[in-house]
């Protein structure tokens, strides 16, 4: 996975942990839009699944 996409995903987790879930989801979506090819999209989707607990609103 490319570095700028990894940074977007890390930023999404940080936002979610601060309670900014809507913004975090938007950041995750931005990473998906920047993905090139099916493999990279699948890696990002798996990463989001692996970190789903952070994005869960209570």
What is the band of 14 on the pLDDT scale with cuts at 50, 70, 90?
Answer: very high
Which letter does DSSP use for residue 29 in this model? Answer: H
pLDDT at residue 18 in the model: 93
Residue 2 has pLDDT above 90, yes or no: no
Q: pLDDT averaged over the chain?
A: 85
Q: Where is average pLDDT lowest: 8-12, 31-35, 37-41, 52-56?
A: 52-56
Question: Are the C-beta atoms of residues 57 and 21 closer than 8 Å to each other?
Answer: yes
* Residue 57: per-residue pLDDT: 57
Measured between its terminal Cα atoms, the distance across the chain in Å is 30
pTM metric for this prediction? 0.72
Locate tokens 């798996």: which residue?
A: 46
Domain ranges of the chain: 3-55
Alpha-carbon gap, residue 13 to 6, rounded angstroms: 11
């Amino acid at each position: 996975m490319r570095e700028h996409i990894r940074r977007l995903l890390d930023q999404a987790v940080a936002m979610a942990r601060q309670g900014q879930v809507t913004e975090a989801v938007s950041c995750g979506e931005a990473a998906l839009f920047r993905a090139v090819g099916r493999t990279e999209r699948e890696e990002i989707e798996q990463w989001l699944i692996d970190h789903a607990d952070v994005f869960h609103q209570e």
